[in-house]
Amino acid sequence: MEKKKVVIALGGNALGNNIQEQKEAVAKTAQVIVDLAAQGLELVVTHGNGPQVGMIQKAMDELATNYTDNYMETPLPTCVAMSQGYIGIDLQNAIKYELHRRGMDVKVSTILSQVEVDKNDEAFRNPTKPIGRFLTEEEAKRNQENGIPCMEDAGRGYRVVVASPMPKKIRELLTIKTLVDAGHIVITCGGGGIPVVDEDGKLSGVNAVIDKDNASSLLAAELGADYLIILTAVEKVAINFGKENQEWLSDLTVDQAKEYIAQEQFAKGSMLPKIEAAIRFAESGEGRRTLITLLDKAAAGIAGETGTVIHK
């Protein structure tokens, strides 16, 4: 029997706020991933980088200002590449250790990946992707005055926002496919992929952070996956989120989801891209389903006991 293929997207906010927290978080994440591998699923793991990419950019800017005379801003695609490296390797080692502990012989690989975007994507004129830490209203105001756009992020405070164009093509798709077919658990498309444009065969990075849920949806569709699992900070998707009449959803059809989007039920830069990613995946082929839930609930969600499932 053919193995079921699953793309698991891990939220950037679930990776901790510093190197030590990340090590602890990935150890827990690895247990969930290896539980799924033990069920005989083919796994591809993607991850967010919102908090991390903002932190890297700030750190690089401070380094550049303090330690060189030739100050040069570190481009966002370079920061995304750095985030793919250090998050990927921590995840890879944690998964490998968990497999080893359970006596399972499965290979794990991290693939740095570049994702093409359209340089005319209107997202470049309308930044919506929150990065870095949460800010107070005063800090956000000061940033705005200095030309750094900020937005309120789903009732949790303010954050810097950057352009988040739609992913069009995953450049390393063939490599990823080859490794999955060879039985590897593949970690890839971290932080949505390094955003690039292709100009006559020359790839150049562009200043953006692709939404990892959108990149994961494209990856899942291109790999012909059966399931996209988006693990985040809520057990279920809600309508009237955070209000008195909040209602948790267990099952959502594409048509219902589109209706709720029209009613602006899902916050931009947080839940909206997840729902849009789920819709695109469902529409990319028969029987394709997305589960949105907490990391701890992944197995229960797959068993149909919790989470929100989005399907045609």
Ligand X SMILES: NC(=O)OP(=O)(O)O
Q: Are 116 and 168 in contact (CB under 8 A)?
A: yes
Report in angstroms how near the CB of residue 145 gets to ligand ADP at its nearest: 26
Catalytic residue among 11, 12, 48, 193: 12
Nearest C-alpha neighbor of 217 from the set 154, 269, 170: 170
205 is catalytic: no
Q: Are 94 and 37 in contact (CB under 8 A)?
A: no
Q: Is 212 in the site for ligand X (CB under 6 A)?
A: yes
214 is catalytic: no
Among 88, 132, 165, 192, binds ligand X (CB under 6 A): 192
- CA 296, 301, 305, 308 dihedral sign is positive
Q: Is 154 in the site for ligand ADP (CB under 6 A)?
A: yes
Altogether, the residues listed in the chain come to a count of 312
Q: How far apart are CA 270 and CA 72, in angstroms?
A: 31
Name residues whose C-beta falls within 8 Å of residue 240's C-beta, 6 or more positions apart in sequence. Answer: 246, 247, 265
Picked from ligand ADP, ligand X, none, the partner binding residue 266 (CB below 5 to 8 A depending on kind) is ligand ADP
Report in angstroms how near the CB of residue 200 gets to ligand ADP at its nearest: 35
129 is catalytic: yes
Among 54, 88, 132, 191, binds ligand X (CB under 6 A): 191
Q: Is 295 in the site for ligand ADP (CB under 6 A)?
A: no
Q: Are 209 and 162 in contact (CB under 8 A)?
A: yes
Q: Residue 105: is it exposed, middle or buried by C-beta count within 10 angstroms (0-12/13-18/19+)?
A: exposed
Among the residue ranges 8-16, 30-38, 58-66, 296-304, the one whose residues contact ligand X (CB under 6 A) = 8-16
Catalytic residue among 129, 132, 193, 236: 129
Picked from ligand X, ligand ADP, none, the partner binding residue 192 (CB below 5 to 8 A depending on kind) is ligand X
Q: Residue 299: is it exposed, middle or buried by C-beta count within 10 angstroms (0-12/13-18/19+)?
A: middle
Among 237, 277, 291, 309, binds ligand ADP (CB under 6 A): 237
Classify residue 304 as left (phi > 0), alpha (psi -120 to 50) or beta. left
Report in angstroms how near the CB of residue 67 gets to ligand X at its nearest: 28
Picked from ligand ADP, ligand X, none, the partner binding residue 191 (CB below 5 to 8 A depending on kind) is ligand X
Strand locations in 148-215 (E) = 150-152, 158-162, 169-170, 185-188, 194-199, 202-205
Among 189, 209, 231, 310, binds ligand X (CB under 6 A): 209
Catalytic residue among 88, 274, 297, 301: 274
CB atoms within 10 A of CB 33: 27
Catalytic residue among 88, 212, 214, 297: 212
Residues with a catalytic annotation lie at 12-13, 129, 212, 274
Residues that bind ligand X (CB under 6 A): 11-13, 48-50, 191-192, 209, 211-212
**Contacting residues toward ligand ADP, per CB under 6 A:** 11-14, 48, 50, 154, 232-234, 237-238, 241, 265-267, 270-271
